[in-house]
Amino acid sequence: MTTTTITTRSSPRLLSGVDLAGRLDLGRHLAVHGPLPAALRSGTQDVLDLADAVNLRGRGGAGFPFARKARGVRKGRQDSGGAPLVVANGSEGEPASRKDAALLMRAPHLVLDGITLAAVAVGAREGRLVVGDPAARDSALAAVRERGREGRPRVRIRVVGVEDRFVAGESSAVVRASAGKTPIPVFTLTRTAAGGVNGRPTLVSNVETLAQLAVLARVGADEYARVGTADEPGTTLLTLHRGGGAAVVEVPLGTPLSAVLGSASDSRAVLVGGYHGSWLSGRTVTAANLSRSGLEAVGATLGAGLVVPLPASACPLVEAAPVVRMLADESAGQCGPCVHGLRAIATTVQELADGAVAPGGVARLERWAGLVTGRGACAHPDGVVRFVASLLATFPAEVALHQHQGCGRPLQGLLPLRPVTLLEDAA
């Protein structure tokens, strides 16, 4: 079984205190972080100004500026007059990623603080915390109970459980889950900010983003920006896989990838971002820094913060093929190009991995990639295509070899297909 540990490096923030105390209940949370500043809690000081000052961006994958998203909801409220709502996305559909579950299991009150701050910022009295992992859900429920009816203005937070499936993490699926419906993506002409859950102006934000907001509110912009880069201050959570296990780590933005990889920094194949992410190899592994701009420079994205180095004994094509199949199977089955296109792509990638692809197979993959991109209700097909295109572009020698025969390296299953387990006593 794959196990997950939680490790803090220099100057932890979101994970402050968890190495000593494990889960921070309300008492420990207040002892480690202190209370929220009253001016931000009441809204007399605008937390969005702080978010702007440190360029706080979403940590769920897309990296959208938090303050801009929240202002969109403020405007949606003015335009529609509907009661706004904050939805914290902790569904974490990426099976190899466990940073959001780890955060909810160890520091759930930071997420609740973040929901409260976001709610005050957009004028909402209600928050929904959407969680996939069962243990993380229990921790979140316990945290809500520990708080009781505290605070003013009061923000009522409800925990909503969703099944652990890939597309359940997509924003419109999370909005549906929050309204008590099946968590699948939907086609909509209305922006979530204007009309999300039951048509209400809705702010959907990843749980790590909200926890970052809770830390920022306490330490202030200057202290927050003491770590990280000038353009991208602060820290980020990563799920780092190595040797069959996984660790959730918090590092300053801009940290060299090689520093995080340690003894695996000579790896010839590193997956970064997630299963909608990109592959790095050789020089790009050495050159990459873990920030949005640092990864953009090598053609990758920080995505959901996944980092998986493969040893030389593993073939990236062989390891990736079952992932592409799983991603095709995880399609919600609503959109034709996603259903048919991903199925065809998955079959051909597996044939390539097996060294049994028909002539023209790689060219067909490239054509199908073009036919799938941008033709679905959500970004799932686009993300899968990015993963496959990066695989083909990063390992041309392997692709050439596999077009004639396999490479002989067996499947090691280093890219998890099912959610990795987070051990309660692992910290």
Partner 1 sequence: MTGKRLQVDWTRCDAHGLCAELLPELIELDDWGYPVLADGDVPGRLSEHAEHAVRACPQLALLARTPKA
* CA torsion, ordered 33, 38, 41, 46, to nearest 10 deg: -110
SS3 206: strand
* Minimum gap (Å) between residue 376 Cβ and partner 1: 5
| Closest CB to partner 1 among residues 256, 337 | 337
Q: Which DSSP symbol is given to 52?
A: H
Q: Which DSSP symbol is given to 256?
A: E
| Closest CB to partner 1 among residues 2, 334 | 334
| Closest CB to partner 1 among residues 68, 156 | 68
SS3 211: helix
Q: Which DSSP symbol is given to 65?
A: B
Q: Which DSSP symbol is given to 257?
A: H
Using CB atoms within 10 Å of the CB of residue 53, give its burial: 0 to 12 exposed, 13 to 18 middle, 19+ buried.
middle
Residue burial 318-329, b: 16+ Cβ < 10 Å; e: rest: bbbbbbbbbbbe
| Closest CB to partner 1 among residues 71, 343 | 343
| Closest CB to partner 1 among residues 243, 336 | 336
Whose tokens are 């830390």? That residue is 215
For β-strands 202-206 and 235-242, DSSP reports them as: unpaired
SS3 204: strand
At 156, which helix (H) or strand (E)? strand 156-161
**Total number of residues shown for the chain:** 427
* Minimum gap (Å) between residue 367 Cβ and partner 1: 8
* Minimum gap (Å) between residue 189 Cβ and partner 1: 7
* Minimum gap (Å) between residue 80 Cβ and partner 1: 18
Peptide bond into 153 cis (omega under 30): yes
Instruction: Report the alpha-carbon distance of residue 107 to residue 17 in Å, rounded.
Output: 9
| Closest CB to partner 1 among residues 242, 276 | 276
* Minimum gap (Å) between residue 191 Cβ and partner 1: 11
Instruction: Report the alpha-carbon distance of residue 102 to residue 259 in Å, rounded.
Output: 22
CB atoms within 10 A of CB 354: 14
* Minimum gap (Å) between residue 187 Cβ and partner 1: 4
Nearest to 161 by CA among 85, 60, 86, 91: 91
| Closest CB to partner 1 among residues 137, 380 | 380
| Closest CB to partner 1 among residues 75, 375 | 375
**Footprint of partner 1 (CB under 8 A):** 186-187, 189, 334-338, 340-341, 344, 368, 371, 375-377
* Minimum gap (Å) between residue 194 Cβ and partner 1: 13
* Minimum gap (Å) between residue 386 Cβ and partner 1: 18
Instruction: Report the alpha-carbon distance of residue 110 to residue 342 in Å, rounded.
Output: 38
CB atoms within 10 A of CB 367: 12
Residue type, 247: A
* Minimum gap (Å) between residue 382 Cβ and partner 1: 12
* Minimum gap (Å) between residue 104 Cβ and partner 1: 30
| Closest CB to partner 1 among residues 32, 179 | 179
| Closest CB to partner 1 among residues 212, 348 | 348
